[in-house]
A and B are shown apart, each in its own frame.
Chain A
Amino acid sequence: MEGKSEIVEVKTFPFPAGFNWAVGPMMERFIRTLAGRKVLGARCPGCGYTYVPPRSRCGQCQAAIAEKDVVELSGKGTLISYTNAHVAPDGNGNLKDLEKPIVVGAVKLEDADSVLFMPVEGVKPQDLKIGLAVKVRWREETKGAVADICCFEPVG
């Protein structure tokens, strides 16, 4: 038999799907502290590995990490890798071309071991290089949300 059968076609679901995740005390403190333009990390008491954002169990040595192990970081860091994004989602399930590429960088924060992936602004593509010194650029108004970190930008 030719042709397609479309006896049952499902386009929407008759129930909501709301979520409300608990992030745990360490992450909550990290997020709330961003309002004061401060970046927190957690230094493992067992092996010294420092996590950003902070967490309660060390993945390296399994030691428990407590509130007392939370440390304030400078917000400065080093670019250890980067790429350029040329397209972005258009909100309708497709991609749209960007007017100019966005630089996304992996930043290793000063005194931390883990890495944040964030947009990098204020640098010409030809000036991008591994080892570039960068610092957090804060949003004009911070309110205690991850989006308070606008991007990273070159130091000076």
Chain B
Amino acid sequence: MKRRNVAVIGCGQTKHSSRRRDVNVAEMVSEAVYNALEDAQVSAREVDAFVVGNMPGFGGVAQPEQWIAESLGAAGKPVLRIATGGTTGGSVGQGGYYVVASGLHDMVVAVAWEKHSDSKEAGATTGLLHVGLGNFFHAAGYGLSLKNLVATSVVGAAAGVAVYQAMFYMHRSGCGIEHFDMVAAKARRNAAKNKYAHLQWPGCTAEDIAKTDIVTYPFRYGHICPASDGASAIVVAEESLARKKAKQPAWFKGLASYTDEENQLQSENFGGVGVTDPSEQRGCWLSAVKAYRMAGIVDPKTEIDVAEIYQPFPSQELFFAERLGLFDEGTAWMALETGETEIEGRMPLDPSGGVNATNAIGSSAMQRILECALQIMGKAEEHQVPKKVRNALAHGWGGVTNYSTVTVLGDTPGR
């Protein structure tokens, strides 16, 4: 198969916060796009096409690409919208790769965003309306009405399934709630070094997090990601442009995305599907295996230098790190204890603070790719990992709760 070499040559974000009431969606998304274009030192005119996306239906706008296109400089150019739920940003980033690797376009902008504050009750309303409905309605297909479904106590979208994931992981790995305190504290400390991040808490400790009340065991308020407004964008180019425009391009070396069977809302029972452990996340594992093979990575434990893992809940940083092959099964929490996953550690996880500190949903998986690109380009500023980054791993999770994207970026094209 003939694929062109492709790289990220520019990155742009907005500051993420609870309420960007000073801008509308088009203005907010444009902010990230023009920051990315400035970083890449290219003008909107030089861009061939745009790949865009946010969480389907969030903000109550059905076809946001129609609204924002002119502001982005996409008038008269191909605009491809991709929506894969919580993983949207990861798919948008990979979409940017596909359209350039295929030879269809030479330089594109890929941008993803969310604007929770356009919902009257941030997160809850839009989330329930658009994610909840999709989830509930497949259950209706199994003969479960909404009333019966609530009675089974399985509702709660990502937050609901994350509790089950965490419990399964704790039971099989020996990890405790105190490790989730540690991950959340690290996320807030790291976020304090990232000027675009939302929940910043310099010097936050596990003890600080442990003081917050339990929501649903094992999660405390201090464990849970915020609902953020924000956007993130990358400029993606083919090899000759990339070498001309960027001192150190961040090359796409391998990527894949797989889905599991839905493992939420008891559909594994009522739908007759065999997923019993919601933290198994076979889609993540399959994505990682495929992406490593494409990238020529044999031993991710030693060849991956830094990883940005999609972890709205702290348990997810741990079991996804294992599913991604960065640690042996059931051992990531031990590496956390010894500081291996800190910015200065052997295997830094989410040096940006990750999704646990900033969650503009559609944007979140894009930010993982963007942050990996920053680490390779040496532009991560205060949260730049001290070691030389040759390979960085960007993970996305969502869909409903079972769709994964894995993207390996590197300092060389690698093929």
Contact = CB atoms under 8 A, between A and B. Distances in A.
Interface residues of A, number: 24
Interface in A74-105: none
Interface residues of B, number: 40
B70 A22 contact: no
8 smallest CB-CB distances across A and B, nearest first, come from A59-B70, A18-B120, A24-B24, A62-B73, A57-B71, A62-B44, A20-B120, A8-B140
Contacts of B129: 13, 15, 17
Contacts of B125: 15-19
A23 B24 contact: yes
A59 B75 contact: yes
B24 A22 contact: yes
Given A15-B129, A17-B129, A57-B30, A8 B144 contact: yes
A18 B60 CA distance: 9
A21 B118 contact: yes
A25 B73 CA distance: 20
Nearest to A12: B146
Given A14-B150, A18-B125, 18 more contacts: A8-B141, A8-B143, A10-B137, A13-B133, A15-B124, A15-B129, A17-B125, A17-B128, A18-B119, A19-B60, A19-B118, A20-B120, A21-B24, A22-B22, A56-B71, A59-B75, A60-B75, A64-B34
Contacts, number: 84
Given A17-B129, A24-B27, A59 B20 contact: no
Interface in B359-399: none
Chain B binding surface SS class? helix
B119 A8 contact: no
A18 B128 CA distance: 11
Nearest to A19: B60
Contacts of A23: 24
Nearest to B117: A22
B145 interface: yes
11 contacts: A7-B143, A8-B140, A16-B125, A17-B129, A18-B120, A22-B24, A22-B118, A24-B24, A24-B27, A59-B71, A60-B75
Interface string B155-185: 0000000000000000000000000000000
B23 interface: yes
B119 A55 contact: no
A27 interface: yes
Interface string A40-83: 00000000000000011101101010000000000000000000
A20 B146 contact: no
B150 A57 contact: no
B21 A22 contact: yes
